[in-house]
Amino acid sequence: MKNIELNIKGVAETVVTADKLAVTMGSGSLTVYATPAMVALMEESACNCLAEYLDSGETTVGTELNIKHISATPEKMRVRAEAVLVEINGREFTFEVKAYDESGIIGEGVHKRFLVYSEKFTSKAYQKLKK
């Protein structure tokens, strides 16, 4: 991993489409932006934050989420997630994450990711199939 400093920022954007609605994703019965979709966008913003600092064969995996979904977003509205790196503890990275629609903030929280080596990590996961 290349040298990394605190307060770098990552962004991810999307439009709320039918596949991202709570009723479609199974996280509720309403036709509004699903919490799992918002969380995935927040994770994407954290990944984008670190992407240029990773060496070949390195990646990060999400290990912890503490998220509040505080406002509903209708279909067809744009959503933007932002992640700011606030702490580095060895290979663990902590982000403050926020999501916004065109009317303002819709979610916020803390997300942690851990640096792993892609091949080793995947191999270990697939060893479970041999048990």
Task: Give yes or no for residue 131 having a pLDDT over 80.
Answer: no
In the predicted model, what is the mean pLDDT of residues 47-52? 97
At a CB cut-off of 8 Å and minimum separation 6, what does 82 contact? 9, 10, 11, 45, 97, 98, 99, 100
Of 31, 35, 59, 94, catalytic: 35
Per the annotation, the verdict on 5 as an active-site residue is: no
Per the annotation, the verdict on 43 as an active-site residue is: yes
Per the annotation, the verdict on 35 as an active-site residue is: yes
Structure confidence by residue, pLDDT tens digits, 74-107: 999 999 999 999 999 999 999 999 999 999 999 9
Of 69, 73, 82, 111, catalytic: 69
Of 43, 60, 73, 82, catalytic: 43
What top-level class would CATH report for the domain 9-130?
alpha beta
Q: What is the pLDDT of residue 108?
A: 98
